[in-house]
Amino acid sequence: MSSGPQPLGAALQSLFRQLGITNKLQAYDVITTWEDIVGEKIASVATPRKVVNGVLFVEVKTGSWRTELSMRKQEILDKVHRRTGRKILRDIRFH
């Protein structure tokens, strides 16, 4: 139990941890900030759709971009992990 008042942000973080939804919120953050993570050019051809069990599913407009992004998968994962401060994803699947 808390001994006194807490800042709202700290209280929410504590609640999210207790409810076990911190990872889901961070995964959602990856989807909502995709363009900031990968840049405008990639975001214009690749749209994140969902995260399931640590796997981000991304819809890509063309086969050539799918190939390019598959080759850059680790680079993109590294950018995601830097942004979240932890390894929130274990894989990205481009389709």
Give the CATH fold of the 21-94 domain.
Answer: GMP Synthetase; Chain A, domain 3 (3.30.300)
pTM: 0.78
pLDDT in tens, 8-40: 877 877 776 776 666 777 788 899 999 999 999
Token duo for residue 84: 């979240």
Q: How far is CA 89 from CA 2, 15, 32, 55, in A?
A: 32, 22, 15, 6
pLDDT in tens, 54-66: 999 999 999 999 9
Q: What percent of the chain has pLDDT over 70?
A: 92
Q: What is the mean pLDDT of the chain?
A: 89
Closest residue by Cα to residue 32 from 53, 48, 21: 48
